[in-house]
A and B are shown apart, each in its own frame.
Chain A
Amino acid sequence: MDDAGMWKRISDGDAEAFEAFYREYASRVRAFLRHSVAGEQAAEDVMQNTFTEIWRRPPGFDTERGTLRAYLFGIARKQAAGWWRRQRPEEELALDDAASRTTETSSLVADAFNRLGREHRTLLWLREVEGQSYKELATILDIPVGTVRSRLFAAREALRAIWHETPAMKGDR
């Protein structure tokens, strides 16, 4: 089913359609949020809020503006930004630090990735993992396509720089 068809069913309150939508994307959104907010529980909560927001306010999606998937991740990103705004500054520092240490899939790249700034993490994850196109990224981040290109380059360079400064990496490469 295409985005327009799926969205019509969701807008009409078709719980079955929304459950299918949730099943397909929930774990992916949660994985994305694990790198956008601090902690497993926060990622779970923000993911749930993301789907709840869409379920409660279906008029928000416009098929002319992009794909349903881009819309979903755009909401998730905004929810994550809201989550960070609600943290107290001193708490945020502690949480950010915690986020950089928590990974169940430890690897040099993963460690380097977790040391990136949030915006870079968001952009790289959506591009490399979710395969969002430049146009979709422009919609999600609300920036021009040209800016997507330059920011992706900056994010990759930042990741590469951190990766290369990792002591173990020098010996490996």
Chain B
Amino acid sequence: MNCGEATEFVSALCDGERIPTVAAEHIGRCESCGERLRAYVAMGAELRRIASMETAAAAPQRTWKRGQHRLVLWWQKGWEGMRIPRIAFAVLIAGIIVLGSTLAVVKVRARDAGTVVLLTVAAGDNERSECPLSTVDKRGDSCGFVGKVEQNTLGYGIELLKRDGDKVQLGIRSVVLPATASLSSNDLASEPQRQFWFQPGDTLKVDLPGLSPLIIKGNWLDHMPAFAGTHDMDPGPDELRFISPLLLRGKEVIGDMEGGASIVDKRNSAAWIYYPKQGSYLISLVPTKGGIKARVQLNRILFEEGGNPYVFITGAPITRSKYVWVLHQQGFDPYNWSEGDEHEFTSVTEITETPSGEWVPAPTAK
């Protein structure tokens, strides 16, 4: 055996493997192969020395907890087949994302004493969300998103943890599930929170498992914007905006979702709103099966149910259409939560047309 034939066995010998007798004999008497073996051993020892230093620092502590509630539970309570691609995480998220209009957005110079960071969060190729975070008001220090991105369901929540001069510390939770999976606020809450220091003006990339990273950019603002983004006040042709919807029955306020927002921009989508004890309301631009035809007046939707007049009042013009359809499901309880735990929320959901021309919540692929 010569050196060329023996070299691979030198490596195996270094790993404690048994090697053929002829190879062992050659390596034992060959100065070149012996030198190679010593080099391999030295390299391994050096790598272990490096690793000993690199593993000295403990990894950050994390809390591991699996969510108990999933929205799939409430599919079984009467909304079977409904898909929720977007939902406001009302427990975690006090802020609003994707509010329209550039009105009232005043940027301040970088390194100025703004109190609000307006983040622009890009996910995948097409999804862009605006997320204003207050450094002084806890009610406005978080925001979130759930939607379909790159054939997956993505949810994330961003919380402003602290400020240090021009920088802010962001706590970010994210979850990626198959596109057909449902997602609840508890799913996100059970995810570990990763913390990043971010300086407005810079770009932050946040890795996501199996997806392109979130790309976060931001600017300082001198106040919490009433509206953010690029929408104007005039709704688009297939647009339905539900911003801070208040629901009146007669003169009684029966639902108030200050800060919640759902913006529908496709004909096959509907705004979906849940008020505790009142049930859910699906608002669409097309007739839904069992839905009530309702009249639209700028920022109001008027309809009657059970002989009572109802009015939705929202914070912006709702749609160009004169009519929308309101599908009310009384007694609908999405979480089966105990009293006191419930909270209102709004989302956008898909609807699909039946042969009879009516629309129903889209069947969910399992």
Contact = CB atoms under 8 A, between A and B. Distances in A.
A105 B54 contact: yes
Most buried by B among A34, A52, A55, A105: A52
A13 B66 contact: yes
Interface residues of A, number: 50
A22 B64 contact: yes
Interface of A: 13, 15, 18-19, 22-23, 26-28, 30-31, 34, 42, 44-49, 51-53, 55-56, 79, 82-83, 86, 103-105, 107, 109-110, 113, 124-125, 127-129, 134, 149-150, 152-153, 156-157, 159-160, 163
B322 interface: no
Contact of B43 (A42, A49, A82, A156): A156
Contacts of B65: 15
B233 interface: no
Contacts of A30: 54-55, 59
Contact of A82 (B44, B58, B192, B210): B210
Contacts of A53: 209
Contacts of A127: 15
Given A22-B64, A45-B207, A79-B209, A160 B55 contact: no
Interface in B26-73: 36, 39-40, 42-44, 46-51, 53-60, 62-66
A146 to B, nearest CB: 11
Interface residues of B, number: 44
A110 B50 contact: yes
Given A104-B53, A110-B46, A156 B194 contact: no
Contacts of A15: 63-66
A30 B60 CA distance: 11
A159 B55 CA distance: 22
Given A45-B207, A48-B194, A152 B15 contact: yes
Given A27-B57, A34-B54, A125 B47 contact: yes
Contacts of B11: 149, 152-153, 156-157
Given A27-B55, A27-B57, A149 B43 contact: no
Interface in B47-105: 47-51, 53-60, 62-66
A65 to B, nearest CB: 21
Contacts of A56: 175
A110 B52 CA distance: 13
B62 A22 contact: yes
A163 B64 CA distance: 43
Contact of B59 (A22, A149, A157): A22
B39 A26 contact: no
B353 interface: no
B7 A153 contact: yes
Contacts of B14: 156
A129 B47 contact: yes
Contacts of A44: 60
Interface string B161-179: 0000000000000010000
Nearest to A130: B51
A160 B36 contact: yes
